Structure 1
Amino acid sequence: MSDPTPGARLRALLARPEALPAPGVADALAARLVAEAGFETVYMSGDSSSAVRLGMADVGLLTMSEMADNAARIVDASGGLPVIADADTGYGGPVNVRRTVHDYERAGVAALQMEDQGWPKRCGHLAGKTVIPVEEMVAKVKAAVDSRRDPDLVVIARTDAIAIEGFEAALDRAEAYREAGADVIFVEAPRSLEELAAIGRRFDCPLQYNASASGKTPTVPRALLAEMGYRLAVYPGQTVFAAIPAIRAILAHLRDAGTHADPPLTMATFREYNEIIGLPEIAEFEAAHGTPETKRVAF
């Protein structure tokens, strides 16, 4: 029998009575670190991807092909973990969504997340968002579901309507997306524990919680999330947020101290760095297939 697909493996994880933690990453190196830390899945954050790839805000600047390419690199580096990938708005109408689904499937993702924002979209916790008519998003969800070549690919439908149309309207939108075939429902930016609980009572399918650092959504332990019906807890920007002060600290030290000695924070050693990026495995492969000059580890 063939191995289960990434989507099938993710569905098995979501079927458990707990909230599956999915750390957000923007690149392949961070995906390797997520796997090393023992997590069972990884989330490709669109906001973090825009920050790392472009050095710019998440306001719809990355194209579908750039996001699919980033997803493929993260999949390759994740050590077999199912990858949940942000697909923004699907990048157009139903035909565009079909191409997005096919390109993301070729990238090897287990799930894609699509939102009902107008274009240009923006981070869900920023002001200035718009949403498309519910009928347009329903059509895009149906297009995503019908375009799957792997029936186990998980389609996550997100609504950003709370800030624009109110909480009850957002729930109604999410209900329509569920009826259109979405496997997971993601109501973005609930503003209180009461709203989070109300979402859990409304739906009998897996729900996604977004642990944004914006402060709009309450910080909730995963045990409580699971009790409310959430089966996926995404931590989208934490790895990038943690990296920024570390990079600033070492840059200030290099600028002011005149030496790289005695850094002001704990750094990976050269050996640790090379182990993380897979040099020992490369050395083993070279030892089996290369010339005598390549049969060594370079550290």
Structure 2
Amino acid sequence: MLYSKTTPEQKRTYFRQALASGKLLKFPGAFNPLSASLIQDKGFDGVYISGAVLAADLGLPDIGLTTLTEVATRAKQIARMTDLPAIVDADTGFGEPLNLARTIQEFEDAGLAGCHIEDQVNPKRCGHLDGKAVVDLETAVKRIRAAADARRDPNFLIMARTDVRAVEDLDTTIDRIKALVDAGADAIFPEALRDLSEFEAVRNAVDVPILANMTEFGKSKLFTQSELEGIGINMVIYPVTLLRIAMGAVEAGLEQITAEGTQEGIVDTMQTRSRLYELVDYESYNQFDAGVFNFQVPGRN
């Protein structure tokens, strides 16, 4: 009721232990707090909070228009709804290295288990679009060092995302990844790799956890969990999948109402009221309410 029963510190500890297990951790992207509850209910390992999804939720493109306050606030709302660790997209850190240091501490205070910081220039672009530009290696390293130096909980995961593969060859990408690990990155997010062999090359190049982004309509093939686990990938995210499913259903429903003049024909496809109440733990609130307010006012003499 109200909040997760697991503290942020416990979530971070669990996340670190799970990363060391050798198991592929699966992180669907939550588009709101309720979807985070559903991700936990379905047995996933964690919750991913996508910058693209947060921007889209505000009706904005994924080009760095969201602010630290908007992202930290929404991420906190999502993270509080689940006992699972939640990792958030920090884009380029919301400013220069000192701003990035503040970003890390805001995310710690918001109850997140980790975040990833990318090496694109500002304004950034969605990771699977053409026309991206990346900062020089020195700037990318400064971002990661600032993040690592700023954290107060050593279990808060600092992940470096690199988009170099969009503009350079794989060898240059691996060289940058090694430099980012040396700068303090606890994990690596190599964006928009071309095929499974490139993921495997990155996996073999560094001794930190590797994340694979399995986003629809992107540059990477949608590899199966067994394929990714087979080459030693540690995390897989499905960042926009749930939002796309939900918005597709919303659009179809609106068209049905327009065409038929009623939603009657699609009621069977909707989440039921009882299922919604189960996810928001309605019964616990009822019991708490009764325990607080079930009393008699004493008479006055």
Per-residue CA deviation, residues 233-282 of structure 1 (Å, 9 max, x unaligned), is 11111101111221112111222212222217611112222222232221
**Who is 1:61 aligned against?**
65
**Who is 2:94 aligned against?**
91
TM-score, structure 1 normalization = 0.92
Aligned residue identity for 2:24: A
Per-residue CA deviation, residues 94-141 of structure 1 (Å, 9 max, x unaligned), is 101110001000100001111001011121001221111111111111
Is residue 90–residue 115 contact of structure 2 (8 Å, CA) maintained in 1? yes
Bigger CA drift: 258-267 or 159-168?
A: 258-267
Is residue 192–residue 218 contact of structure 2 (8 Å, CA) maintained in 1? no
Q: Distance in 1 between matches of 2:192 and 2:177?
A: 13
Task: Find the residue that maps to 1:104 and give its secondary structure.
Answer: helix
Which of these residues, 4, 15, 32, is aligned with residue 20 of structure 2?
15
Q: Distance in 1 between matches of 2:249 and 2:270?
A: 9
Bigger CA drift: 253-262 or 208-217?
A: 253-262
Aligned residue identity for 1:172: D
Task: Find the residue that maps to 2:259 and give its secondary structure.
Answer: helix
Q: Distance in 1 between matches of 2:84 and 2:227?
A: 25
- The root-mean-square deviation of aligned C-alpha atoms, in Å, is 1.7
**Who is 1:282 aligned against?**
285
Which of these residues, 128, 133, 139, is aligned with residue 130 of structure 1?
133
**Who is 2:55 aligned against?**
50
Is residue 250–residue 264 contact of structure 1 (8 Å, CA) maintained in 2? no
**Who is 1:81 aligned against?**
84
**Who is 2:3 aligned against?**
none
Aligned residue identity for 1:59: I
Task: Find the residue that maps to 1:165 and give its secondary structure.
Answer: coil
For the pair 1:158 / 2:170, whether they are aligned, the reply is no
Is residue 18–residue 223 contact of structure 1 (8 Å, CA) maintained in 2? no
Bigger CA drift: 113-122 or 263-272?
A: 263-272
Bigger CA drift: 11-20 or 220-229?
A: 220-229
1:180-191 equivalent positions in 2, closer than 5 A: 180-191=183-194
Aligned residue identity for 1:15: A
Aligned residue identity for 1:67: V
**Who is 1:40 aligned against?**
45
Q: Provide the identity percentage.
A: 37
Task: Find the residue that maps to 2:269 and give its secondary structure.
Answer: coil
Q: Distance in 1 between matches of 2:170 and 2:234?
A: 21
1:1-299 equivalent positions in 2, closer than 5 A: 4-52=9-57, 54-78=58-82, 80-263=83-266, 266-291=269-294
Is residue 58–residue 122 contact of structure 1 (8 Å, CA) maintained in 2? yes
Is residue 26–residue 46 contact of structure 1 (8 Å, CA) maintained in 2? no
Aligned residue identity for 2:216: A
Unpaired runs of 5+ residues, structure 1, are 294-299
Q: Distance in 1 between matches of 2:41 and 2:76?
A: 19
**Who is 1:296 aligned against?**
none
Is residue 59–residue 120 contact of structure 1 (8 Å, CA) maintained in 2? yes
Q: Distance in 2 between matches of 1:29 and 1:187?
A: 29
Count of residues paired in the alignment: 290
Aligned residue identity for 1:213: E
TM-score, structure 2 normalization = 0.92
Residue 176 of structure 1: how far off its partner (Å) = 0.4
Is residue 19–residue 25 contact of structure 2 (8 Å, CA) maintained in 1? yes
Bigger CA drift: 178-187 or 193-202?
A: 193-202
Q: Distance in 1 between matches of 2:228 and 2:38?
A: 25
Q: Distance in 1 between matches of 2:118 and 2:285?
A: 40
Residue 184 of structure 1: how far off its partner (Å) = 0.5
Q: Distance in 2 between matches of 1:267 and 1:220?
A: 30
Bigger CA drift: 94-103 or 281-290?
A: 281-290
